[in-house]
Each structure stands twice: as structure tokens, then as C-alpha cells.
Amino acid sequence: MTCPKLARAVIPSTTAAEGRLRVVSDMLIHAFMTPDLFQRVTAHGAAVNLSSRAKFRLTGGDRVRYLNGQVTNDVRRANADETLYACVTDAKGRIAADVFVHAHEDTLLLDAEGDVRETLGMRLERYIVADDVELTDVTEEWQLWHVFGSAETPAHALRSNRFGVPGFDLWLPAAAAAPTFDTIDVLTDAELETWRIVQKVPRWPNELNAEMFPPEAGLESRAMDFTKGCYIGQEVLSRIKTTGKMPRELIAFDTDSPVNAGDEILTTKAVGSVTSVTVHPETGRIVGLAMVRQGMTAEPLSTSAGVLLRPR
């Protein structure tokens, strides 16, 4: 998602001392959520329409073995009750996409960011050689909704944690009526982006992209299995696991001053860059995510404009 350039952004301040509007100038703001909405989502959860995500179906007797050789997590554990989070990596261990996988009868279904629909399809097709596997793009055939927070999981839903809070997915035929949610809010893309950043969840292509290794984004526990056996990129990622050394790491920060996505981060020299920025709905402070050189988090970090970034 591209950050809109706002020459002047008006942000409600919720501190008791101010109780007024605060103006932040010349800032790239990814998204915005009102304090009231943030409180409702925190207390009761929310729904989001993820139907624009790319969706693929794998069939054939070798589908599990094949996909298990393409992703970082153990596809043998995929089932019809919950999603399995994983990364598709290249031969150098870098991220080609992050995906959610589940099994349904004699198929595997996976979804990924809409931006990687073409490249992910090509990447997965490339390694189907003599396997009994058929890959089909079913993006247009399904709606995909996600509900997170305090809502109870329906019997036909998939347990899934996409945005830092347990929730569930609903896959519905594209021709079916869209679900209605009477007791929770349906978030816009912009509101969801604010929630994601506040929850410190990395996203393609901001924090997850072709330059990044999954461990750099903190995905070891969620998206990786180091006992499953070989897959594309496994050797490099196993080395990172063994040595503990990687070029960068993900951090979350807050600050009082304007910060732009893409701003360079410094100690005494350049050590990284800001990847996502929003405004915290309750505090009115600027919060964001960044990728910085490993081991630099104990040092004072600031942007090239001199804005101090505080870890959160």
C-alpha cells in the first residue's frame, strides 16, 4: 500500500492536558483511526474484508510434499480448523511472499498480499516439475473476511491470527452475500493499517520484501519450522538460526515529532530506515516500525532530521 502524501494532517489529541487538535505538518501518514473506534476495537474486536488478497488452490497427490518444499513452515500440519502462517523464500532465503495456508478436503488453499498475485503464482509454478500437483489461481472465486478480538469463532470458520490478536477467517464464494456484522465495526484499509502498526505486525512490502530474511522481521516463532526438512532457502535460514547473526532486525518506535516512511535512521552513522508510520489513536503520538542493523537497538536512534525514536 502506498503512503499518501499529506501536506497538513490534523490529528486529535486525547491527552487530558491538551484536549484539542494537534497539527503535524509535512508528514507521510499511512493511516488513521479515531480514538473512539480504537477503544471499540480493543474492547470488542472488528471485521476486515481481505477479499483483494491473492488466493491459490493446490490439488494432486503430491500437494503437501510439494508445498512443504517451498515454504518455511511445516505444511504437514495444515488442517481445516486453522491457518498455518509461512513465508515463501528464494534460494538465498529472502522473502518472496508471506502466506496463510489451510487444508480443505483434498486441496490446500493459500492466500497472500494482492500485490504478489502474479509473482507468487510464477514462483510456485516454477518448481512444479514431475510432481502430481496443479496450482490454480482462485482469487476471483472467493471472498475472504477476517474477524479478530472477542467475537466467538463460528463452527465453519478457520482460527487465524493475522493482526496481533486471535481471530478467524471466513472463506465465502464470491457470488455469496457478504456477511454482516451487527456488534462489531468493519474496518477500512486505512483503519486496519493503523491497527497493524500499533500491534507491531510486519507487512508486505513495508517490512517483508525481497530484501528481507524472515527472522529479521521476527517471524521465527510464527512462520518457521526448523525440523521439517528441506525447502527453498532453508540452508541460509538454518545458518542464521545457528549463528544468530542477520543483517537487520525489526523494531517498533514512537516519537513526538513528524517522521516519514523511508526516513533514514542513524546512530553515529546510518543503521536503517523507517518502514511504516501512523498516529496512535489514543495518545496522538507518532508510532511506527523500522528495520535497523542488528545490535543497534541499545543505541539512541534518530532520523536524519534529528527526531529521536523511542523503542516501544
Low-confidence ranges of the chain (pLDDT < 50): 1-31
How far apart CA 237 and CA 233 sit, in angstroms, is 7
pLDDT of residue 11: 35
Q: Which residues of 54-72 are buried (b: 16+ CB within 10 A; e: fewer)?
A: bbbbbebebbbebbbbbbb
Q: Give the pLDDT confidence of 176-228 residue by residue, as tens digits.
A: 999 999 899 999 999 999 999 999 999 999 999 999 999 999 999 999 999 99
pLDDT recorded at residue 13:
38
For residue 26, what pLDDT is reported?
40
* pLDDT tens, residue by residue, 31-65: 489 999 999 999 999 999 999 999 999 999 999 99
Output the pLDDT for position 230: 96
pLDDT of amino acid 32:
81
DSSP character string of the chain = -PPPEEEEEEEE---TTT-SEEEEEEEE------HHHHHHHHHH-EEEE-TTSEEEEEESTTHHHHHHTTBSS-GGG--SSB-EEEEEE-TTS-EEEEEEEEEETTEEEEEE-GGGHHHHHHHHHHT-SSSS-EEEE-GGGEEEEEEESSPPPPTTSEEE-SSSS-EEEEEEETTSPPP--SSSEEPPHHHHHHHHHHTT---TTTTSSTT--GGGGT-HHHH--SSS---TTHHHHHHHHHH---SEEEEEEEESS---TT-EEESSSEEEEEEEEEE-TTT--EEEEEEEETT-TTS-EEETT--EEEE-
pTM across the whole model: 0.90
> For residues 51 and 186, what is the distance between their CA atoms, to the nearest angstrom?
13
Sorted by where each starts, the structural domains of the chain and their CATH numbers stand as 5-30+247-311 (2.40.30.110), 48-198 (3.30.1360.120)
Residue 298 has a pLDDT of 86
